Structure 1
Amino acid sequence: MTTQHHDDPHRLASAEIVVGIDGSAAADLAVRWAAETASQRGRRLRVVHGLDLAAAGAVYGIYDVITPPVIDAIRREGTDLVRTARRLAHEVDPTLTVEAEVSEADPAHLLIELSESAHLVAIGAAGSGNTPGHLGSTLLAVAAHGHGAIVVVRDTGTEQQTRRIGPVVVGADGGPVSAAAVGAGFAEASERNTQLVAVHAWSDLYYDRFAGLPYTICDRDAETAGQAILSEQLAGWQEKYPNVQVIRKVYLSGPRLALLEWSRSAQLLVVGSRGRGGFRGLLLGSTSNALVQTAHCPVMVVHPQ
């Protein structure tokens, strides 16, 4: 059951789970994940598709006005897509309340606007490596500029495409943005009745790029400092969520690699929208940016209020 949080619009009982679709297999997976989450939490699901008529007009001819028959055809296709997505959601839970929205707006702008009041926004991702699949720039724009929690739903690469077992893993770097991710990590672990693995890397250096730089931590001072940072960021949350068992992991360097490895067994990876530097000018912190494109499980990017 959902809990009312008057100081956080994303935790209100009325906050919906929103999923963006484009008709791809990755979007279908995001719909199923979002439907499962909405069903478990007693929340409404909103399926949205942005037509982006301005871009469509450019495709059909920069110098020609997009004709009404073309607009009608684009709208019909969008309506068919959300109808199919609604059917997929009801396959997960026939009793689920599913709202559908077809908008003329740009998909990224639409999802970013909806994220202001949504419980979370889900968007699918396909492929692996350094080139994002499914929605391309839309995915990265929403993950970078959305509000609250943006979940990039990635295929686990196994028969069970999204896991219902395994821990929630959160990256804790000691920065202010990371604090919001830690809070979200506890909430998700509690909702899912599973363990929380809190991962801290003492250095942002990538150990594999420097000859002789170890991955595991062997410096007592660095270990002590890392554990102290974790203790500070976890303080208060364990009292608020006493049902959540916390496992603490400290590494010398390479936060991206450590979290990527944990994503092989996690059911959800939680990261802040920016790293410990917290520069707002960046689209995403380098670690978050890499993980939404390469992780082996869904990745929740948390934006502080």
Structure 2
Amino acid sequence: MTDKKGRPTEHRPRPVLAAVDGSANSYQAAAWAAAEAALHHLPLHILTSGALQTGFGPGMSLGEADLEWLRVDAERVVGEAERVARAAVPDEDLTITTEVAFELAAPLLIERSPTAEILVVGSRGLGAFQRGLLGSVSRAVAQHAHCPVAVIHGIAAIDPVSAALPVLVGVDGTANSVPAVELAFDEASRRKVELVALHAFSDSSALDLPAFGWEMGRQSAEADLAETLAGYAERYPDVPVRRIVVADRPVRSLVDEAASAQLVVVGSHGRGGFSGMLLGSTSTALLHSVEIPTIVVRSRR
């Protein structure tokens, strides 16, 4: 059942919130969001903004005919996104609601994020012109949203081949990565796949470390990784875990390992970050670099 005006309310479970703008990338985001909602048995809410994304509201300079055209086009966008979502999970009893708003997209999504289970956006929208460019909306919500943010790149990775690949999580040995580890275990469990936990313990190449430095660093990193993962094996006995410890830059290691994964999960900031940091260097670089869906996780604020 689809409610065309189904804005989520407080008494309903938190939905998976998908933002669309009519770009092919945003429709990939809608497909991934539908599969995610089905995995978690949650409703899917598809939202688009009919406002001109220029810093000025459409009522500032547009007439009634122009506003009506924007509204009709926005309804077309959410209608197509719903069709794509239904095609992605045709056999699921999935509740989908759609909404057209007339507010600037980034602040609107940030405002809605506390009531969403996860916010799903495309990596680049209609305004992006360069391959790999992170769109302004996806960058803003990854920095400021109050819930996990999934950024979908060129592919949704929900085909049968991709769906059998592992979930990859970046672990840095600090409390900042704990929410990411917890979410990654849950995702791997629901998807019935292996979890790859990668800990890169150096910000330089292993070639720059002397032999004794590598061995000491490896032992310490393995202990940190074991401590971070402790307890999850009992909570998620169905999830096989592969641990990888490398003396390399976290971004390069995660990008390399992401080539054989279906999903990357990272904390919003890493060992060099602090509690007020918006987005760490590793998570920022990953959003620009990987081609598979990436979830940036921070504790709800």
Aligned residues: 285
1:3 aligned partner: none
Is this contact kept in 1: 2:157–2:163, CA < 8 A? no
> Offset at 1:300?
0.6
> TM-score normalised to the size of structure 1?
0.84
The residue correspondences of 1:96-245 to structure 2 (distance < 5 A) are 96-126=94-124, 132-133=133-134, 136-156=135-155, 163-205=162-204, 207=205, 212-213=207-208, 219-245=214-240
Is this contact kept in 1: 2:267–2:283, CA < 8 A? yes
C-alpha offsets along residues 74-115 of structure 1, whole Å, 9 cap, x if unaligned? 111111100111111122234421100111121112222222
Q: Aligned in 2, Cα 1:175/1:238: closer, same or farther, shift over 3 Å? A: same
C-alpha offsets along residues 35-75 of structure 1, whole Å, 9 cap, x if unaligned? 12222332211100023357374799xxx633222222211
Q: After the TM superposition, which of the residue ranges 51-60 and 16-25 deviates more from structure 2?
A: 51-60
Give the unaligned 5+ runs of structure 2: 1-10
Is this contact kept in 2: 1:130–1:293, CA < 8 A? no
2:38 aligned partner: 39
Give the unaligned 5+ runs of structure 1: 1-11
- Take 1:100 and 1:215, find their aligned partners in 2: how far apart are those partners? 57
- Take 2:157 and 2:292, find their aligned partners in 1: how far apart are those partners? 10
Is this contact kept in 1: 2:57–2:104, CA < 8 A? no
> Offset at 1:279?
2.9
Is this contact kept in 2: 1:171–1:259, CA < 8 A? yes
Is this contact kept in 1: 2:49–2:104, CA < 8 A? yes
- Take 1:138 and 1:162, find their aligned partners in 2: how far apart are those partners? 30
Is this contact kept in 2: 1:199–1:259, CA < 8 A? yes
- Take 2:141 and 2:102, find their aligned partners in 1: how far apart are those partners? 17
> Offset at 1:204?
2.3
1:296 to 2:291 alignment: yes
Is this contact kept in 2: 1:263–1:297, CA < 8 A? yes
1:66 to 2:65 alignment: no
SS of equivalent to 2:97 = strand
Report the residue type matching 1:20 in the other structure: A
C-alpha offsets along residues 120-157 of structure 1, whole Å, 9 cap, x if unaligned? 11111259989524xx1110111111122111112259
> TM-score normalised to the size of structure 2?
0.85
Q: CA-atom RMSD, angstroms?
A: 3.0
2:7 aligned partner: none
1:269 aligned partner: 264
- Take 2:210 and 2:67, find their aligned partners in 1: how far apart are those partners? 55
